A and B are shown apart, each in its own frame.
Chain A
C-alpha cells in the first residue's frame, strides 16, 4: 500500500532533475528496482498516472529494470539465487549476504527542451 508515497517521491526527484537540466518536458523515467525491495510495478504505474497529471512529467513512460536477488555465501564465496534455498547450495553454510536485489532508485530521465513546454515546467510544484 505504500506505492503512493513512493510514486510521489519519484515524481519529485524527476521534476527536480528535469528542472536543473533545463528541460521542459520529461518523457521517460528509468527506474531500477531490486527483487527484494517489495515494490509493485503495476501499482506505481497506477499512481503515476494520477500524481503526474498537470506536471511536466505528465504521461511520461515508466521503465522498470528489475534486478534479480543474488546472495553470496560468506563462508565459501559462492553466489546464488535465493529461490534455490537459503543455505548455501555449495557448502551448506547459512552465513549469507545480499549482493544484489535491494536497489531502488531513479537511474535516468529522458527530457525534451522546447520553448512551447517552458510554461508547463515552471508551473510544476
Chain B
C-alpha cells in the first residue's frame, strides 16, 4: 500500500548547516571573511592581488582559491603576500560549504584577520551554495557588458557589495553605466558599489577603506 509522507525540506539544507558551522568557526577565531563571486576573467584574482598587497601592512590576510584546476590563482595571492590555499574542485562549478571546511582545516585561523575566498568563476551556481563567509562581493567588469544584472539576477540579488572592475576600458567598450546600475538597483536596492580599475589603481582606495571598515565592524560585533 502506498502512503504519502510530507517532507518539506530544503534540498541544500545540509550545505546551509555546514555553512553555519564554518561561520561559527570563523567568528570564534576572530576572522572576517569575504566571498568573491564573478564570471571568469572579471578580475577576481587581480582584485585579490591588489587588496592583499595594499592591506598586507595592516591586516593578516589569507586567501582560499577555488578553481577547477591549477594553482595559478593561489600562487598569485601568495606572491602578493597572503597565506594561500588552493581548492581544485575537479570540475565542480562552485565552492560549497564542505570544500571550504576542508580549506579552513589547512589554515591557522588565529593568525588571520581577513580571509578572502575566491569562488569559481561562474555567475550562476556559486549563488546557490552558502559558504559561511560574512559578506559576498560580486566583481563585475566593463568588458562583460552592461546587461549582466538582467541576465544573472540570482547572483546580483544575493551579494553585499559590487565591484565594477576595468573602468579604464570605459572609453573603448560599449557599456552603458546607467543601464547597468538601473538593473543592479532593481535587484539589490542600495547595494554599495565600487567602480575601479585594478590595472590603474583608480577607485581602489574606496574599496580598501570599505574592506578595512568591514573588518573593524566585525571585530566590534564579536566584542
Contact = CB atoms under 8 A, between A and B. Distances in A.
Interface of A: 1-2, 5-6, 9-10, 12-14, 17-18, 21, 23, 27, 31, 36-38, 74, 82, 86-87, 94-96, 98, 102, 104-113
Contact of B7 (A96, A104, A106): A106
B185 A5 contact: no
A17 B186 contact: no
A31 B124 CA distance: 21
Main secondary structure of the interface of A (DSSP, over half): mixed
A27 B157 CA distance: 37
A98 B187 CA distance: 9
A1 B92 contact: yes
14 contacts: A2-B125, A5-B92, A17-B5, A17-B7, A36-B153, A36-B154, A38-B125, A82-B153, A87-B182, A96-B187, A107-B7, A108-B8, A110-B3, A111-B3
Contacts of A106: 7-9, 11
B154 A86 contact: no
Interface residues of B, number: 34
Max chain A Cβ within 10 angstroms of own Cβ: one of B9, B12, B91, B94: B9
B91 to A, nearest CB: 7
A75 to B, nearest CB: 11
Nearest to A69: B153
A13 B9 contact: yes
Contact of B186 (A2, A18, A37, A95): A95
Contacts of B92: 1-2, 5
Given A2-B94, A2-B125, A36-B154, A112 B2 contact: yes
B10 A94 contact: no
Given A1-B93, A38-B125, 6 more contacts: A2-B92, A2-B125, A13-B7, A82-B153, A106-B9, A112-B3
A98 B55 CA distance: 37
Report the 8 A-B pairs with minimum CB-CB distance, sorted nearest first.
A94-B186, A1-B93, A21-B5, A106-B7, A17-B7, A105-B10, A109-B5, A2-B125
Contacts of A98: 157
A38 B11 CA distance: 13
A37 B11 CA distance: 11
Contacts of A21: 3, 5
Given A2-B94, A38-B125, A109 B153 contact: no
A30 to B, nearest CB: 8
Contacts of A13: 7, 9, 11, 13
Nearest to B98: A5
B183 interface: yes
B150 A112 contact: no
Contact of B8 (A37, A95, A107, A113): A107
